[in-house]
Amino acid sequence: MSLDKATVAKIAHLARIKVPDEELESLAGELSQILTFVEQLNEVDTKDVPPMTSVAAQKLRRRKDEVTDGGYAAQVLSNGPETAEGFYVVPKVVE
């Protein structure tokens, strides 16, 4: 499997990572190498084999839907690069 520059640019956009144009070519090469490497999985017979969802032999626990923690907005916000009035501040998203 080989990825071209346009595909890498598209994936980078989906992943919200800015990749400079001049790096797309080498990145396409590296990603293609990895995808070629994983192609060997097609040799494995996986007919009727369930895809693994969890290695832990247990079901997810249930708990009561109730508030057990919280009430410290200042701590939650303390690491925000920009905050105001108890909110995170981001560039304007609505015109």
Partner 1 sequence: MTALTHLTMAEALDGLAKKDFTAVELTEAHVRAVEAVRPFNIFITETPDAALSMAKASDERRAQGSAGPMDGLPIAVKDLFCTKGVSTTAGSHILDGFKPEYESTVTSQLWRDGAVMLGKVNLDEFAMGSATITAHQGETVSPWSPGAPGAWEKKIVAGGSSGGSAAVIAARAALGATGTDTGGSIRQPAGYTGTVGIKPTYGRCSRWGIVAYASSLDQAGPMTRTVEDAAIMLRSMCGFDPKDSTSVDMPVPDFRAALTGDIRGLRVGIPKEYRVEGLSAEIAALWDQGIAWLKEAGAEPVEVSLPHTKYALAAYYIIAPAEASSNLARYDGVRYGLRVEGGNLKEMYENTRGAGFGKEVQRRILIGTYVLSAGYYDAYYNKARQVRTRIKWDFDEAFKSCDVILTPTAPSTPFAIGEKMDDPVQMYLNDVFTVPINLAGLPAMSVPAGLGADGLPLGLQLIGRPFDEETLLRVGQVVEKAANFTALPPFVA
Cβ partners under 8 Å of residue 29, min gap 6: none
> Residue 2 Cβ, how far from partner 1 at the closest point, in Å?
12
Binds partner 1 by CB under 8 A, chosen from 21, 55, 65, 86: 55
Site membership for partner 1, residue 64 (CB under 8 A): no
Residue in 57, 65, 70, 8 with CA at minimum distance from that of residue 35: 8
Site membership for partner 1, residue 8 (CB under 8 A): yes
Site membership for partner 1, residue 67 (CB under 8 A): no
Site membership for partner 1, residue 41 (CB under 8 A): yes
